[in-house]
Every structure is written in structure tokens, then in C-alpha cells.
Amino acid sequence: MKGKPMTFLMSLIALAGAGFLAFAAWVRLAPHDPARWHVDPVTAPDPSTPNFARRQMQSPLPPDTLRQRLDNTAQAEGATLLADTDGLVTWVARTRLMGYPDVVSIRLTPTEEGTTLTALSRSRFGHSDLGVNAARLDRWLSEP
């Protein structure tokens, strides 16, 4: 009789482990539909969950120069380009520990003084991001 509860417990642990691995694989391999995620941060509404960050700033740099700097920073952090259309660019960045995907959309609007940059970074999965999206935007936008 003693072996049955232990076997059940081991089966339960194995099932939970398999579920976790399946979820981790889905998070890593789920496709990102540009039609859904490549949104203009100037007009996109706030997501319904608090796992996002939004920033706007003025830069004296022209859009092309600013875009190159953003590309360099995004690539240095391992982000991949999802879409690029007419002054709007979207990357998929991943969290360090679990590799959860976050989607970062940035609009570069030329002005007489340089560029207005509007950014929206949001988590693809989950409810809370523990400030990861805000920290990413702060890093990306503080690069020289």
C-alpha cells in the first residue's frame, strides 16, 4: 500500500513538469502575427493588463540616425525585427530568465528639431511584467 501514494505523487510531479515544459515551449515558439503586434504606439490604446510601458521623447537626431541606434541597441539585447513600415518599427525582445516575448513598437516622426519618438513595449503573455518593459524602454532610449 505504501508504494501507491508515492507512485501517484511521482506521477503528479512528472505531469506538472511536463505541463511546465509544454508551456515554456509554447512561449518560446508561438508565432507573432505582425497584423496584431505591429501597432502604432501613437494611436494604440493601453493594453488591459499592467504589463506594458509607454514612453515619448524628443531627440535632436534625425530619424535615420536614431533608428540605427535603436537597431544596434535592440540587436545587442537579442531582439529580432518583427516588422518595419514607414517610420514604425516593431521588435520581439525576450526576458532574460524565461525567454518570455515582449513586443516593442516605436514610431519615429521627423520634426524641425529632429525626431519625436513614441514607444510602446508590452508583454505577450502574463499579467505582470515586474517592470521589465519600462526598464527595457529606459535602456533603449537612454543610449547615446
d(CA 112, CA 60): 9
CATH number for the domain including 135?
Answer: 3.30.530.20
Q: pTM of the predicted model, to two decimals?
A: 0.82
Cell of 37: 503586434
d(CA 103, CA 98): 15
Q: Are residues 135 and 75 in the same domain?
A: yes
d(CA 125, CA 120): 15
pLDDT tier for residue 144 given thresholds of 50, 70 and 90? low
Q: Are residues 14 and 66 in the same domain?
A: no
Q: Are residues 22 and 60 in the same domain?
A: no
80-93 pLDDT tens trace: 999 999 899 999 99
92-135 pLDDT tens trace: 999 877 788 999 999 999 999 999 999 999 998 888 888 999 99
d(CA 93, CA 99): 9
37-84 pLDDT tens trace: 999 999 999 999 999 999 999 999 999 999 999 999 999 999 999 999
Q: Which domain holds residue 134?
A: 32-142
CA–CA distance from 82 to each of 56, 70, 120, 122 (Å)?
A: 21, 14, 14, 14
